[in-house]
Amino acid sequence: MYFQQFYLSCLAHASYLLGSEGIAAVVDPQRDVDIYLDEARQQGLRIAYVIETHLHADFVSGHRELAERTGAEIVIGARAGAHFPHRPVRDGDELRFGQCLLRFLETPGHTLESLCVLVTDLERGPEPWAVLTGDTLFIGDVGRPDLSPTHTPRELAGMLYDSLHKKLLTLPDSVEVYPAHGAGSLCGRNISAERCSTIGQQRRFNYALQPMSREEFIRMLTSELVERPDYFLQDAELNRRGVLSLGDLPPLQPLAPEEVLACQQSGVIVLDTRNPADFGAGHLPGSVNIPLSGQYASWAGTLLGLEQPILLVAEDPERLAESRMRLARVGIENVVGYLRDGILSWQQAGLPLAEVPQISVHDLHAALREQPRELQLLDVRRPAEWNAGHIPSALHKSLIGLKLLLHTPPHDPNPIPELDRHRPVAVHCKSGYRSSIATSLLRRAGFTNVLNVVGGFDAWQMQRLPVVKEAAVEPTRVL
C-alpha cells in the first residue's frame, strides 16, 4: 500500500494520497491539485476517490476540480449537505480498493459532518494501522467547536467530547494519527509542529485528552476561544458547493502607478507581499504588508476578507503568481491587478513612499530602559503566547484584534484608546512577521511613528532579556 502526506506550510494544511493495486484516493486536497495528479502518475495510480473529512473553513478545497479532471467520486459525510455529486457516508461505512480498506467514523464536534477515516492495509493485517483525523484530533490539540451556524460552541464541544472518547480513544495506542492541520492553523488553539503521532502518545500528552468530565471538557474548550475569522463560514459554504477551477480565473492586469493611485482612492486595498525589511524601507502609503514568506493566505483572509478588492505589490513575476495562487487557496479571487514593475515604478513616477523603521531587541531594551515613559511596546501575539511569557511593560492585543484598523480613517483621534498615536510605538510578535503586518495597519490608521522589532520575542529571549509571566503583570496592562 502507498501512503503519502502532503504538507502545505502556508496554510499549515496536511492532505493525503493513498494507493493500492493501481487505484488511489486523495484526502482533504488543497485547491491547486496538480501535485496529486503528478504524484499519482509517477506511482502508476489512478485517482478514483476524493475524500473530504469535513467542509473545510480555513481553505478552499480542490475536491471538485480533482474529481472533474480524474472522474473520481467525491466521498463526504452525509450531514454535509453537499451540493455536488458525491457519495454520502455514515458511521461504519467502508471503501475498499486493492488491499486498502477505509472505514469511516462520524466524529461531530469541530463540525457536524466531521469524519475520521480508519486505514487498514490488508497486506499487513486485518486491523487499522492509521487514522486520518481531519480537524477532530490534532497533534497536541483538538478542533475548535465554533464553526456551526446552527449549533452553539457548547453543543459542539459536547459532541466533540463524545467523538473523542467513544470513537478515537477506543482505538489501540499503536494506531498512527494523521490530522489535517499542523502548528499555526486557526482551527485549533495551539497545535503541535509534529505532523503525525499515535493514539497512545495523544492519550498521554494531549491536554484535551486528559481525564476530565464532559462538562469540564466543554468548559475548557469554550473558554477564551480565539476569535473566528469571518471568512471561515464563507469558505465552508464555498466547499459545500465547490468552486471554479484555478484555470478559469482571469489573468492579472498590470497597472501603472497612476492607475494604482486611482484604485487606492476608490477603496482598493494595496497588498504588499514583500518581506518586512523591504516593506519597512519603502512602501506605498496606506498599503498593507502581509509577507509571502509566512502564513500569507490565512492572514489575508482573516484581515482582508474575501470580497475586498485587492491590488498586489510583489518583487517579481514568480512571487506575483505565487501571491495570487495562495490567495485563491482561501477563496480570495477579487484581485484587480498589480503594480507594474513593482515598487521601482512607483519611485520613478515621483510618488511618495512611507517607511517603517526596524529596531533590534538590543536597541529596544535600551530605549525601554532609558525612556520608559516615551516608547510604547505592543505585543501582537496570540493570548497563549502572551501568557507563556512576555516583555515587561508591553501592552497586548493579538493581531486579529487589529483588524478594525483596516477601515479606521487616519484622522480618527482614538482608534486604540490604550495607545497614544503621538508617541512612538514598537511592535513585536514571535519572529517579526505578524508585527510587520501590524505596523502596516497602524500606519494606515494614522500612527506615524511606528517601529518593527526585528526577530521579535524569539530574538528577545535568545539575548536573555527580561521576561515576565502573565500572573506577574497587572491585568490592566492587557488590552
Residue from 293, 269, 158 nearest 212 by CA: 158
- For residue 359, report the phi and psi dihedrals to the nearest 5 degrees: -125, 135
Could you report the per-residue pLDDT of 419-450, keeping only the tens digit for each? 998 899 999 999 999 999 999 999 999 999 99
User: Residue 471's pLDDT band (boundaries 50, 70, 90)?
Assistant: low
* Range 232-238 average pLDDT: 96
Q: How confident is the model at residue 479 (pLDDT cuts 50, 70, 90)?
A: very low
At 108-134, the pLDDT tens digits run 999 999 999 999 999 999 999 999 999
The C-alpha cell of 392 is what?
515587561
Does 226 or 237 have the greater pLDDT score? 237
The pLDDT-based confidence of 246 (bands split at 50, 70, 90) is: confident
* Cell numbers at 23, concatenated: 487505484
Sign of the dihedral through C-alpha 236, 239, 244, 245 = positive
pLDDT at 303 over 90: yes
Q: Residue 142 — very low, low, confident or very high, per pLDDT cuts 50/70/90? A: very high
Q: In what order do the strands lie in the sheet with 425-428?
A: 358-359, 450-453, 425-428, 376-379, 395-396
3-state SS class at 294: coil
Residue 102, CA distances (Å) to 4, 17, 136 in order: 15, 13, 17
pLDDT of 354-404, one tens digit each? 999 999 999 999 999 998 889 999 999 988 899 999 999 999 999 999 999
Q: Which residues are catalytic?
A: 429
SS3 state at 152: coil
Instruction: Give pLDDT tens digits for 77-110.
Output: 999 999 999 999 999 999 999 999 999 999 999 9
Question: Using an 8 Å Cβ cutoff, are 452 and 432 in contact?
Answer: yes
Pick the CATH number of 2-241 from 3.40.630.10, 3.30.300.160, 3.60.15.10, 3.20.20.70: 3.60.15.10
Outline where 256-349 has alpha helix (H). Answer: 257-265, 276-281, 296-304, 317-329, 342-348
From CA 149, how far away is CA 277, in angstroms rounded? 41
Cβ neighbours for 366, distance < 8 A, ≥ 6 positions apart: none
Using the predicted structure, report yes or no on whether residue 472 has a pLDDT greater than 50: no
> Residue 415: which pLDDT band, with cuts at 50, 70 and 90?
confident
Q: What is the pLDDT of residue 430?
A: 96
What pLDDT does 475 receive? Answer: 35
Q: Are strands 141-142 and 137-138 parallel, antiparallel or unpaired?
A: antiparallel
Total residues found in the chain within this entry: 479
pLDDT of residue 435: 98
Q: Three-state DSSP class for 236?
A: helix
Specify the DSSP class assigned to residue 228. Answer: P
All residues at 6 or more sequence positions from 477 whose CB lies less than 8 Å from its CB, including other chains: 393, 394, 395, 396
Whether 67 and 173 have beta carbons less than 8 Å apart is answered as no
Mean pLDDT, rounded, of the chain: 94
- CATH no. of 358-477: 3.40.250.10
CA distances from 191 to 179, 186, 207, 348, 452 (A): 10, 9, 11, 46, 27
Positive or negative, the CA dihedral 304, 281, 251, 246 is negative
| Spatial separation of the C-alpha atoms in residues 300 and 120, rounded to whole Å | 39
Distance CA 233, CA 221 (A): 20
Q: Is 358-477 the same fold as 2-241?
A: no
Q: What is the 3-state secondary structure (H, E, C) of 392-445?
A: CCCEECCHHHHHHHHHCCCCCCCCCCCCCCCCCEEEECCCCHHHHHHHHHHHHC
- Cα separation, 264 vs 337, whole angstroms: 12
Place of cell 463560514: 233
Nearest Cα to Cα of residue 416 among 442, 454, 382: 442
Would you state the pLDDT for residue 170? 98
Q: Look at residue 477 and tell me whether its pLDDT is greater than 70.
A: no
Residues 13/7, Cβ–Cβ less than 8 Å: yes
What residues are paired with 96 via a beta bridge?
101
Q: Which of 377, 383, 388 is nearest to 467 (CA)?
A: 388
Element counts in the chain: helices (H) and strands (E) = 15, 24
CA distances from 59 to 6, 11, 87, 236, 327 (A): 15, 8, 22, 8, 10
Helix, strand, coil share of the chain (percent; to 5): 35, 20, 45
How far from the centroid of its chain's Cα atoms is residue 474's Cα?
A: 31
Q: For 45-76, what is each residue's pLDDT tens digit?
A: 999 999 999 999 999 999 999 999 999 999 99
Task: Say yes or no to pLDDT of 313 above 70.
Answer: yes
CB 302 within 8 A of CB 186: yes
Going from N- to C-terminal start, the domains of the chain cover 2-241, 249-348, 358-477
The reported pLDDT for the residue numbered 5 is 98
Structural fold of domain 249-348: Oxidized Rhodanese; domain 1 (3.40.250)
